[in-house]
Amino acid sequence: MNLYIQAASQISIQEPLCEDWFEHPIFYEERYQRAIDPDFKMYIPPMVARRMGKLLKRALVTSSNVVENSATQKIDAIITGSGLGCIENTEKFLQAMVQEGEDFLQPTFFMQSTHNTISSQIALHLKCHGYNSTYSHRGTSFESGLLDAFQQISLQRIDNALVGGHDEMTPDYFTLLDQIGYWKKGAINSETLRNSDSDGSFSGETSVSFMIENRKKEFSLCEIKAVDLLYKPSIERMQTAVDDLLKNHHLTLQDIDSVFVGISGDVQNDTIYRTMKNKIFQNRPLCWYKHLFGESFSASGLGMYAAAICLQKNCIPEHLFYHPQKPMNGINNILVYNHFQNKDHSLILLSSC
């Protein structure tokens, strides 16, 4: 069974709902960035949007965008990955509990404070009564949702799935993560984070949606050949997983044009990628994307998005290469590799179609 990405859409710290980042990336000097939001009134009626936090609006807009762009008539499944869920509403609800002594709690914040609010609101908005699921596995939430869709389509239970990764970063949550060393101290330069030898990264926000389907269309971005998740793998286990994945698709490592990794400027995080590069992905060009999109629990979704756009355009731009080199044209296969705290590791193999 072949799976294709029919459409992809993002709202992040790059220009929203477009691929401007491909030629005109925005780089940052502040360690805390909120997403660049489109004018939501153009997409969601005000009376519908009034109860929604920013994350819900972003998820609805990117979801509607891919459904429209892929000309999908019937959505079989909506699957979302979110590390924090609607944390903005959760905070409002909890703050009200503290301030009001657990009285006078507003129902809207409570209703929309859960992780699965996103999938359910998308379903209500798109009038989809099919399979609806949410994965909240911190840094591999997106891949967990993608794996669900991949397996269900492969088993022919469904024909298509709307898969998304959505995470916001509120000022309070940013401060909490700052206290445990998630972020760099002081000003940063996102463009040169690759040279960093200190802990922490810079914060971004993610809302990315994909329409995945079992048949190729003339506008399909690329094919998803494999999705694999591993928990605390040794180097040997990772080597076996990569070997098996390539073998199953009659590929060798030399057929992989680039490996997209979640290098973020955090020396502890990046050391794992460098080790994998030296031991498993030798001689394969590394690309990174978190200098464009920042760090968030669903950032790996933007990694897959960036790789899919590169395959569609048949080009990897210069600014994505970890080791500076000229743009690469004529690409066929990209391996997206992500890890979260060296516990959860994921591999996504994308190919041109």
Among 23, 42, 46, 330, binds another protein (CB under 8 A): 46
Q: From 72-80, 97-105, 226-234, 253-261, give the range in contact with another protein by CB under 8 A.
A: 97-105
Among 2, 69, 108, 133, binds another protein (CB under 8 A): 108
Integer CA distances (angstroms), 266 to 198, 263, 289, in order: 6, 8, 14
The SS3 call for residue 203 is strand
Could you tell me if 165 and 141 are in contact, meaning their C-beta atoms sit under 8 angstroms apart? yes
Contact 114, 101 (CB under 8 A): no
Query: Which range in 106-114, 130-138, 186-194, 207-215 contacts another protein by CB under 8 A?
Result: 106-114
Which C-beta is closer to another protein: that of 104 or that of 231? Answer: 104
Which tokens belong to 169? 């970063």
111 binds another protein, rule: CB under 8 A: yes
Q: Pick from 23, 39, 102, 103: which binds another protein (CB under 8 A)?
A: 103
For another protein, the binding residues in 49-68 under the rule CB under 8 A are 49-51
Select 109 or 305, whichever has its Cβ closest to another protein. 109
Q: Is 47 in the site for another protein (CB under 8 A)?
A: yes
Of 18-26, 107-115, 191-199, 320-328, which part binds another protein (CB under 8 A)? 107-115
Site string for another protein, 282-321 (x = CB under 8 A): ----------------------------------------
Which residue(s) pair with 32 in the sheet? 203
What's the gap between Cα 100 and its chain centre?
Answer: 37
How many CB atoms are located within 10 Å of the residue 124 CB? 12
Q: Looking at the chain, which runs of residues are DSSP E strands?
A: 3-11, 77-81, 131-135, 160-167, 206-213, 222-231, 258-261, 286-288, 315-316, 328-329, 333-340, 344-351
Identify which range of 56-64, 105-113, 115-123, 285-293 contacts another protein by CB under 8 A. 105-113
Residue 105 touches another protein, criterion: CB under 8 A: yes
Work out whether strand 258-261 and strand 333-340 pair parallel, antiparallel, or are unpaired: parallel
Residue 286: which H helix or E strand, with range?
A: strand 286-288
Structure tokens at 152: 């269900």
Both structure tokens of 238? 């990772």
**Binding-site member from 101, 104, 195, 283 for another protein (CB under 8 A):** 104
- 102 binds another protein, rule: CB under 8 A: no
107 counts as binding another protein under rule CB under 8 A: yes
The H or E element that residue 225 is part of is strand 222-231
The two three-digit tokens of residue 97, written as one number: 């509990």
Site residues (CB under 8 A) for another protein? Answer: 41, 46-47, 49-51, 100, 103-108, 111
